A and B are shown apart, each in its own frame.
Chain A
Amino acid sequence: MRELNYVRAINEALMEEMARDERVIIIGEDVGLSGGSFSATRGLFQRFGAKRVIDTPMSEAAIAGVATGMAMNGLIPVAEIMFMDFVTLAMDAIVNSAAKMRYAFGGQFKVPIVFIMQGGGGLSAGPHHSQSLEAWFCHTPGLKVVYPSTPYDVKGLLKSSIRDEDPVLFVEHKMLTVKSDVPEEDYTLPLGKAEVKRKGSDVTIVTWGQLFYKVASSAEKLAAEGIDVEVIDLRTLVPLDLETILSSVNKTGRLVIAHEAVKFGGFGGEIAASVMEAAFDSLDAPIKRVGCAFTPIPWGPEVEAAVLPQEDDIILAVKEIIE
């Protein structure tokens, strides 16, 4: 199998889905002529033309609303919001219109849409280009929320999201050049299915998005100290694959939830509460959470690293509940 980096895997998924189904339309700022702010849409405009790869004005609210209207009328839009921080301007269309469209009108309209955006920090991009805002959307009935970590997952999950009948909030991360094996042939991965990316017996770490890579390296360091970590990459936050989490916790008896988003009010709290409700008796230690400090993301590399969760934070959390 050949290796592919994260952003090329996104590009390949879009290319294949557009070729497969003429209803799939890309719409957003700079997605066409320029090939995208992150080059995720490179070559699409040249291959499919301006009718299917649509450059918009800088109007995030209208991009999300227009995409919703397109979906109401038989198309499958992939609406690019660029940086996830910009989704604030598109919240009404996503949360009030798209998420509720099927429900509020008694199932008369379906809105298959992918709202795709880039989250996460680590690039000295400052407070308005670095956030992880996925928890806001997990709290909204009607939306599915996907945040893959690897190139293999991002390709398979983006294809599934495009084929899904419901609106999907799809978060891509900033480690665009990270590589993994990616099949050249068509494949999809199911939404709502987590993956155990490392088997272990002492403690479970649940994570997603780009923090997965720090969790994975932390697990190797802990292994060197004789602590055997099981790493679950959630991949999809809604629907939540609680079953995979519970079966792991039932085995290890210990749980750390690590996400890059702000810890306070983050989705980790929901997972912790769900595990407490369903498997309190399986727990041998309190659940620990690792996340961003309760601050905006600063610009300078050293201070940014200070507020974002790091390997040391993950290792410390594990050790606190092992001893």
Chain B
Amino acid sequence: MVKITKEKKKQLFKWLLKSRRLEEKLVDMMTRGEIPGWLHSMLGSEGTGVGVTASLETGDFINNTHRGRAIVITKGVPIKRFMLEVLGKKDGPCGGIAGEMHFADAEYNILGTQGLVGANIPLSVGVALACKIRETGQVVVSYFGDGAVDEGNFHESVNMASVWKLPIVFVVENNQWAQFTPQKETAAQPDIWRKGEAYNMTGKLVDGTDILEVYGAAVEAVAKARRGDGPSLLECRFTRWLGHYVGDPQKYRDPKEIEDARKIDPLAKFQEKLLAEKVLATELIEKMEQEIKTEIEEAVDFARNSPPTTVEQAFQNVYS
């Protein structure tokens, strides 16, 4: 078992809280029509995004996903910097070309999101292969959802990574829904972690709403990858709170299932635990809430008042 210090627990809580409050803000802004495009809410999944990303060192790589705000926050990207991209501003890390859905940030080794689920997996394997060839000591987390596991890219890529013993960890955020279809109806083997065995790598299932369980498993898998002992497949399971996208009426879902899912809150669970352990006090949580609120409000205001992506930028970077 990985030993987790009080300081680390406090830090994990702060990232969790920050991810939640930012996501609530984004859902609100999306609902009011302020964000262009779509927003795929990550509410309820913060425990996996924070827990996995927190296991990495600064120089390690992870790809973002379309529900990846917890990854972005935990990797250390300032909210101000992220919001510039979300609102399509010229000074965003991608110049407002990628937006929230494809967000990449090379300065923080965040590899971005490809539009097709599963398309990121071979890219991450390639980044890991380069780490191994160049002997950089870095580890890559390839992060994707349960839907991506049904893509050929998953199977081809994890096989290669295992054959070559690459420094990579495959993390599946299994929220039980691939867009509008339940995962268990499309997967012959819904236990994704069991697929590890088919590729001769460790497969492990964790409760995606238990941040300490996620973090502990991720720390072990990352250490194994860094030692040169090859990849692992980590399934973090929970149930999606909202629809596929913000505004999805979810007519395909039993309201009871949604209600039950929302009763299992990774943030509330962790808060209760840390209060009981006296790692946190109510006053400290209130202080964190206030700081986070101020940071988010300032970041949103800053981004709102920043200049949009220029037409000139739309014609740059097609070629070098």
Contacts and interface: CB of A to CB of B under 8 A. Distances in A.
B123 A65 contact: yes
A8 interface: no
Nearest to A66: B126
B92 interface: yes
Nearest to A64: B122
Contacts, number: 140
Given A61-B122, A75-B130, A105 B156 contact: no
B129 A96 contact: no
B305 interface: no
Interface stretch (A107-115, A195-203, A264-272): A107-115
A167 to B, nearest CB: 10
A165 interface: yes
A68 interface: yes
B122 A93 contact: yes
Contact of A74 (B96, B130, B163): B130
B188 interface: no
B98 A106 contact: yes
B116 A92 contact: yes
A103 interface: yes
A93 to B, nearest CB: 6
A67, A93, A166 — most chain B CB neighbours (10 Å): A93
Given A104-B112, A108-B94, A108-B104, A73 B319 contact: no
Interface string A102-137: 111111111000000000000000000000000000
A56 B159 CA distance: 10
Interface residues of A, number: 40
A70 interface: yes
Interface string B145-187: 0000000110011011001000000000000000000000000
A104 B156 CA distance: 25
A109 B133 CA distance: 19
Interface size for chain B: under 10, 10 to 19, 20 to 34, or 35 or more residues? 35 or more
B208 to A, nearest CB: 26
A166 B317 CA distance: 10
B73 interface: no
B133 to A, nearest CB: 6
B126, B153, B313 — most chain A CB neighbours (10 Å): B126
Contact of B92 (A75, A96, A106, A142): A106
A68 B316 contact: no
A20 interface: no
A25, A62, A71, A110 — most chain B CB neighbours (10 Å): A62
B105 interface: yes
9 contacts: A57-B163, A68-B122, A68-B126, A69-B130, A72-B123, A75-B130, A77-B126, A108-B104, A109-B112
Given A73-B130, A105-B94, 14 more contacts: A52-B133, A64-B122, A65-B119, A66-B122, A66-B129, A72-B123, A72-B130, A75-B133, A92-B116, A93-B122, A103-B316, A105-B104, A106-B98, A141-B318
